[in-house]
């Protein structure tokens, strides 16, 4: 599967002992796509049931929001779609799994839509963003658009009313 331009993946090292474990999930020294990562907002998504879909979200211009995503507990099927019209990977969809066990984080550049489906009950996803969420710039791709053909692995059990009103492909950032 082709990777999306400027998307970075990070394998977060796990250090275990008798107390449990320690895992660093971000270091600005590891990010190479940008000279400076300055996160200004951090959020956690708690999802009660497997099959829940959240997405496909991005912030429209003039936002320049980078997003750093980590699955802290549970398991997700994560999906990215490049909506940057001038990108060499415009229209590419990239899907992958993330979980506490896998220990993967992803850095998502502006103009790349993000969404996920929970694979197990009680899943926690952590986000760090370089811009404050502005509802007037919030955009959504329709999560089940046949033109995107995202291969959600489970039957969908829950989607927000806003996500049901996402835009059909194609769109451009």
Give the model confidence (pLDDT) of 26-81 as tens digits.
877 776 655 578 899 999 999 999 999 999 999 999 999 999 999 999 999 999 99
Exactly one of 90, 126, 127, 133 is catalytic; name it.
127
Cα 55–chain centre separation: 8
126 is catalytic: no
Q: Is 60 exposed, middle or buried (0-12, 13-18, 19+ CB in 10 A)?
A: middle
The Cα–Cα gap between 57 and 5 comes to: 18
- pLDDT over 70 at 98, yes or no: yes
Selecting among 57, 58, 114, 173, the annotated active-site residue is: 57
Question: Is the separation of the CB atoms in 31 and 105 below 8 Å?
Answer: no
* Whether residue 57 lies in the annotated active site: yes
The structural domains of the chain, ordered by start, are: 8-165 (2.60.120.10)
**pTM for the complete prediction?**
0.93
Question: Could you tell me the sign of the dihedral formed by the alpha carbons of 7, 59, 152, 69, in that order?
Answer: positive
Indicate the average pLDDT of the chain.
Answer: 94
**Structure-token pair, residue 17:** 């002992």
């Amino acid at each position: 599967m082709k990777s999306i331009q400027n998307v970075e993946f990070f394998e977060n090292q796990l250090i275990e002992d008798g107390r449990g474990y320690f895992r660093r999930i971000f270091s600005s020294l590891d990010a190479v796509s940008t000279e400076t990562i300055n996160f200004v907002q951090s959020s956690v998504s708690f999802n009660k049931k497997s099959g829940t879909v959240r997405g496909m979200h991005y912030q429209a211009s003039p936002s320049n929001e980078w997003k750093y995503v980590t699955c802290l507990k549970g398991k997700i099927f994560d999906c990215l779609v490049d909506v940057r019209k001038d990108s060499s990977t415009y229209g590419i969809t990239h899907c992958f799994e993330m979980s506490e066990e896998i220990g993967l984080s992803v850095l998502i550049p502006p103009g790349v839509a993000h969404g996920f489906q929970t694979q197990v009950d009680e899943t926690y996803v952590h986000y760090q963003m370089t811009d404050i969420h502005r509802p007037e710039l919030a955009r959504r791709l329709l999560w089940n658009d046949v033109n995107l053909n995202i291969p959600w692995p489970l039957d969908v059990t829950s989607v927000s009313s806003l996500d049901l009103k996402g835009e059909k492909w194609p769109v451009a950032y």
